[in-house]
Structure 1
Amino acid sequence: MSSDIEICNVALSRVAVTKSIVSFTERSKEAEQCRVFYTSLRDLVLQAFPWPFAESIVALADLGSPVNGWAYRYRYPASCLKVRDIVQPGWRRALTSDQQIPFQIGYDAGGRVIHTDQPEASCRFTFRVEDSTFFDPQFADVLAWRMAMDLALPLSSKPELQQFAAQQYQMALTIAEGSAFEEGQDDPEPESEFVSVRS
């Protein structure tokens, strides 16, 4: 379990900054730079991958009056950072490429909307997680490397540190992705009609 400040201090140490911070509001260059980058980079890393701890499925609110080319128009979910899939109600399984339902993000006077042809659509999405006590350890590690990428130049003026942090970020993200796929079990594939008829 990591705090925002602990993640920032790990990021600082990864770019050879030995001075740690105790809050975002303290008067130091390190705290100022962390304050500038932290929130936007946290959201960027959440968007980078469907992290299990930040994933939800909700039924979408039908707004009616669909635009040309689409059968339905739904309100974009609150606190959503990235729509992953449009799914049918009650659908839990990961979608294969041939099962994916087409959709498009648009805007109206009330904010973002989702256009699709799916009736009674639900949405699998990544939501904004602001409380760092909910971060899993691998996400905190990936976020610290992503922070290190942006802190390297303003705090160390060493481009090679930024390049190193970028490589480590990609490596940590790949490891986290692999680990996340091991933390769940889909329903078994249904038998084909051909197998059912034979038995």
Structure 2
Amino acid sequence: MNVTEICNLALSYIGKGRINSLDDASEEAKKCRVHYDHDRRRLLMMFPWGFAKRTEKLALLEASVPGWRYVYAFPAGCLWVRYVFDAPHAREKAADRQEFEAVLFGAAMRAVATDVPLAYAQFVADVRDTDFFSALFVEALSHLLAASIAMGVTGSASLAEQQLRLCSAAVEQARCLAALEEESDMRYPRKYQDARFS
């Protein structure tokens, strides 16, 4: 499903006709053009969608941030960092979360400050290619887009609210499916385990 098809899905939810492209001169196309990319990024930041998760080794910077031992370059194409960890503890990254801080150097350079040496990051990437989108992401995005354009195209606040609720329901469904796919064994934090059993 391409961008135009996602926009047409959103328009169908609010009872409006189809567009041929985002470059159309119609009011519907203009609204989709304004809101699509922003809503795509908003949705990616609501939940760690499986298709958007990436894991990369972080590049150490010759910089310092008070309170942290190491500063790493922010991963390219990263919207938000979920976990920072070292290779030996990659499987425990969720149960034993390591602290980190996203920081900004100057006007444009983002970085990750942490006490983790030789760090990796799991993050949500800014995925633009619709071929990678999951079915639930497409559903949530089309409802979110419908909510964003509903007032401008139909003048109906209740329709916008309804579409926002449907987007939230799709995100919640994705969250439940992701929880089922993840291992549910009890894992004790490493520091607790070391103190308790050593």
- In the TM superposition, what is the alpha-carbon distance from 1:73 to its structure 2 partner? 0.5
Out of 161, 170, 175, which is 2:173 matched to? 175
1:30-56 deviation line (CA, Å, top 9, x unaligned): 111101011111111111101111101
Percentage identity across aligned positions? 31
Equivalent AA in structure 1 for residue 94 of structure 2: L
Out of 93, 104, 120, which is 1:107 matched to? 104
How many residues are paired up? 189
Q: Aligned-pair RMSD on alpha carbons? A: 2.1
Give matches, 1:77-116, under 5 Å: 77-89=75-87, 91-93=90-92, 95-96=94-95, 99-109=96-106, 111-116=109-114
SS of the equivalent of 1:182 reads helix
Aligned to 1:73: 71
Contact 1:142 1:172 in 2 (8 A): yes
Q: Which has the higher mean CA deviation after the structures are superposed, 5-14 or 101-110?
A: 101-110
- In the TM superposition, what is the alpha-carbon distance from 1:3 to its structure 2 partner? 1.2
Equivalent AA in structure 2 for residue 22 of structure 1: N
Out of 119, 142, 145, which is 2:140 matched to? 142
Contact 2:85 2:93 in 1 (8 A): no
Contact 1:85 1:124 in 2 (8 A): yes
Equivalent AA in structure 2 for residue 3 of structure 1: N
Aligned to 1:197: none
Q: Which has the higher mean CA deviation after the structures are superposed, 86-95 or 41-50?
A: 86-95
Task: Give the 3 Å change call, closer, same or farther, for CA 34–154 of structure 1 in structure 2.
Answer: same
1:187 & 1:71 partners in 2: Cα distance?
A: 32
- In the TM superposition, what is the alpha-carbon distance from 1:93 to its structure 2 partner? 4.6
TM-score normalised by structure 2 residue count:
0.88
2:171 & 2:133 partners in 1: Cα distance?
A: 14
2:110 & 2:63 partners in 1: Cα distance?
A: 15
Out of 43, 62, 65, which is 1:64 matched to? 62
Q: Which runs of 5+ in 1 are unaligned?
A: 194-199
1:182 & 1:94 partners in 2: Cα distance?
A: 18
- In the TM superposition, what is the alpha-carbon distance from 1:65 to its structure 2 partner? 2.6
SS of the equivalent of 2:87 reads coil
Alignment of 1:10 with 2:9, yes or no, is yes
Q: Which runs of 5+ in 2 are unaligned?
A: none
Contact 2:84 2:93 in 1 (8 A): no
Task: Give the 3 Å change call, closer, same or farther, for CA 48–75 of structure 1 in structure 2.
Answer: same
Equivalent AA in structure 2 for residue 171 of structure 1: A
Structure (1 or 2) with the greater helix fraction = 2
1:168 & 1:184 partners in 2: Cα distance?
A: 25
